[in-house]
C-alpha cells in the first residue's frame, strides 16, 4: 500500500478542533473519510461570516474536487442526515453524489434507537453515562448483534422485514417499561417517502477507496470523537460506542499502521470533557471555568451542553499519542488563554492511596478517579494571539510552553490554531 494516507485524530474527550484542521488540510487531498461515530459528532467550521455545524458529513465538504465519504463503520441517522444535507445546500454548499458518498453497509439510526438510548439512561439513574441521546449506542449494539438496518437495505428497498422485526422487539421493551411505542406503519411510510432523496449517495465506499488508494489518490482520515472516548481504549464506561482511535480506520479499510504516512493528533492547550466521568485536571475555580467556557465557546455543537474545563494533561497525552502513532500535534485554542496570569500543565499523576507516581492506564475511568495531578506552572503571556498566522507573532511565554510540550511528549507541533476561522492557523515549518 502506498503511503498516501494521513489521519486527523482527537487526543482527548472530543471537541479538540479536529474539524477545523480537516477543513484546513482537505484541499491537499482527493478524499476525506470519516471513519467512526454518527450524529453525536459535531464539527464547527467557520468560513468568513458563516458558521457551519457538521454532524455526519466530513469537513472536507467545503473543498472543491474533494470526495467526502462516510465510512462503513459509522452509524447514520436516516432522517438527520437528509436534513443536514438540505441545510448545507440552503447555505450554498455544493453537495451531490460526486462529492459525498455514504457506505451501503453503514448501520442506520432510527427513532427507536433514540428512545432506547433515553430509556437506558433513565434506568441507570445516578450512574448514567451522559450520552448525547442520539441513539448511537443502540445502533452500534445492532451492528455487533448482527441485526438492524443498513443504508444498503434502504437503497434496495429491502428494509421492511428487518424494520418490522426491530420495531416488534423495541415495542415489547417499551410496553414493559411503560414507554411510548413506535408505529411501524408510520415509520415505514416515512422512510419510504424519503429514501429516494438519499439513495443516490449510497455506494460501495470500500471498493471505491481501495481502488483510488491503489491508483495513488490521497486520502485524509477524519476522526469524529476523541481517543479517550474510544469504546475499548477510552475511559470506560463514559465513552462513545465506536472506535475513535486510529485502529477504527485501519479496520474499516483493512490497513496497517505502516500504511499511514502521517497522523496528526489534535489537542487544545487545555482540556474539556462533556458528560460524566472523572476529570483529574478539571478547574475548581468557578471564575476560571467561566472565563474559559466563555472565551472558548465551550458548548457542544450537537447538544449545546456546557463543557467541563481543566488544564492540559501530559501523562495521558503521551500514552494516547503513542497508541495512535501520532507523528505531529495540532494545538488549538491557544488564544482562549490570552488573558490568564498563569498557565498550568499536569506533568505527572500520583496515586491517592499511596502518593506514588503512576502512569496513565488506558481503558478505565476508575483510574482517573484514583489519581492526583501534579502541575508545572508557567507565566501567562497576557497578550492577544487571536488571528496570528506566523509563529513569530506569538509571545515568547507561549512559545516556551509549546516547546515544553514537544520536549515532554517527543512529538513535534505542526499546527497552532489561533481562532475559529480557517485562516487563523499557523503551520510550523520543520
Domains of the chain from N-terminus onward: 5-103+202-262 (3.40.440.10), 107-198 (1.10.300.10), 267-427 (3.90.170.10)
Contact by Cβ (8 Å): 345, 378: yes
Does 43 participate in catalysis according to the annotation?
Answer: yes
pLDDT tens profile 66-123: 999 999 999 999 999 999 999 999 999 999 999 999 999 999 999 999 999 989 888 8
Does 15 participate in catalysis according to the annotation?
Answer: yes
In 124-248, beta strands by DSSP E: 202-203, 219-226
pLDDT tens profile 350-386: 988 777 777 776 678 888 888 899 999 999 999 999 9
| Secondary structure of 345-404 as H, E, C letters | EEEEEEECCCCCEECCCCCCHHHHHCEEEEEEEEECCCCCCCCCCCHHHCCHHHHHHHHH
Contact by Cβ (8 Å): 216, 101: no
Annotated active-site residue in 43, 55, 113, 247: 43
> What's the Cα-to-Cα distance from 73 to each of 205, 288, 298, 363, rounded to whole Å?
11, 39, 28, 21
Q: CB count, 10 Å around CB of 239?
A: 24
Report the DSSP pairing between strands 342-351 and 50-54: unpaired
- Indicate the pLDDT class of residue 2, thresholds 50, 70 and 90: low
Annotated active-site residue in 15, 23, 77, 230: 15
Helices 136-145 and 111-124, axial angle in degrees (round to 10): 110
Separation of first and last alpha carbons in the chain: 26
User: Within 13 Å of residue 191, how many CA atoms lie on the same side as its CB?
Assistant: 25
pLDDT tens profile 385-419: 999 999 999 999 999 999 999 999 999 999 999 99
d(C-alpha 314, C-alpha 199), whole Å: 45
Amino acid at each position: 500500500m502506498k503511503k498516501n494516507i494521513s489521519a486527523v485524530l482527537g487526543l482527548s474527550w472530543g471537541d479538540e478542533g479536529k474539524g477545523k484542521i480537516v477543513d484546513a488540510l482537505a484541499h491537499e487531498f482527493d478524499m476525506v473519510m470519516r471513519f467512526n461515530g454518527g450524529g453525536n459528532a459535531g464539527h464547527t467550521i467557520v468560513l468568513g461570516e458563516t458558521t457551519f455545524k457538521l454532524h455526519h458529513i466530513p469537513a472536507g465538504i467545503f473543498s472543491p474536487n474533494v470526495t467526502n465519504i462516510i465510512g462503513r463503520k459509522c452509524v447514520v441517522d436516516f432522517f438527520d442526515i437528509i436534513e443536514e444535507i438540505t441545510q448545507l445546500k440552503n447555505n450554498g454548499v455544493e453537495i451531490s453524489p460526486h462529492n459525498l458518498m455514504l457506505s451501503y453497509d453503514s448501520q442506520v439510526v432510527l427513532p427507536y434507537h433514540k428512545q432506547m438510548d433515553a430509556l437506558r439512561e433513565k434506568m441507570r439513574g445516578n450512574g448514567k453515562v451522559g450520552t448525547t441521546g442520539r441513539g448511537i449506542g443502540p445502533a452500534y449494539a445492532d451492528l455487533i448483534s448482527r441485526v438492524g438496518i443498513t443504508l444498503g437495505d434502504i437503497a434496495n428497498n429491502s428494509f421492511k422485514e428487518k424494520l418490522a422485526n426491530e420495531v416488534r422487539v423495541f415495542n415489547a421493551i417499551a410496553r414493559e417499561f411503560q414507554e411510548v411505542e413506535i408505529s411501524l406503519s408510520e415509520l415505514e411510510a416515512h422512510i419510504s417517502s424519503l429514501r429516494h432523496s438519499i439513495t443516490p449517495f449510497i455506494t460501495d465506499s470500500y471498493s471505491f477507496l481501495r481502488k483510488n488508494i491503489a491508483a495513488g489518490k490521497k486520502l485524509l482520515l477524519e476522526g469524529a470523537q476523541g481517543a479517550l472516548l474510544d469504546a475499548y481504549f477510552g475511559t470506560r464506561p463514559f465513552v462513545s460506542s465506536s472506535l475513535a482511535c486510529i485502529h477504527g480506520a485501519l479496520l474499516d479499510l483493512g490497513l496497517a499502521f505502516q500504511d499511514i504516512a502521517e497522523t496528526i493528533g489534535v489537542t487544545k492547550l487545555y482540556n474539556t470533557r462533556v458528560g460524566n466521568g472523572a476529570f483529574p485536571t478539571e478547574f475548581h475555580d468557578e471564575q476560571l471555568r467561566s472565563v474559559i467556557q466563555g472565551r472558548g465557546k465551550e458548548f457542544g455543537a450537537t447538544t449545546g451542553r456546557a463543557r467541563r474545563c481543566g488544564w492540559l494533561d501530559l501523562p495521558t497525552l503521551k500514552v494516547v499519542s503513542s497508541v495512535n502513532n501520532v507523528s505531529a500535534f495540532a494545538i488549538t485554542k491557544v488564544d482562549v488563554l490570552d488573558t490568564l496570569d498563569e498557565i498550568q500543565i499536569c506533568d505527572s499523576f500520583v496515586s491517592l492511596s499511596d502518593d506514588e507516581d503512576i502512569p496513565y492506564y488506558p481503558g478505565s475511568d476508575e483510574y482517573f478517579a484514583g489519581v492526583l495531578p501534579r502541575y508545572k506552572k508557567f507565566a501567562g503571556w497576557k497578550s492577544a494571539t487571536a488571528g496570528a498566522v506566523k509563529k513569530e507573532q506569538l509571545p515568547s511565554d507561549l512559545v516556551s510552553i509549546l516547546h515544553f510540550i514537544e520536549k515532554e511528549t517527543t512529538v513535534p507541533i505542526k499546527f497552532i490554531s489561533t481562532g475559529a476561522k480557517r485562516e487563523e492557523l499557523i503551520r510550523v515549518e520543520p
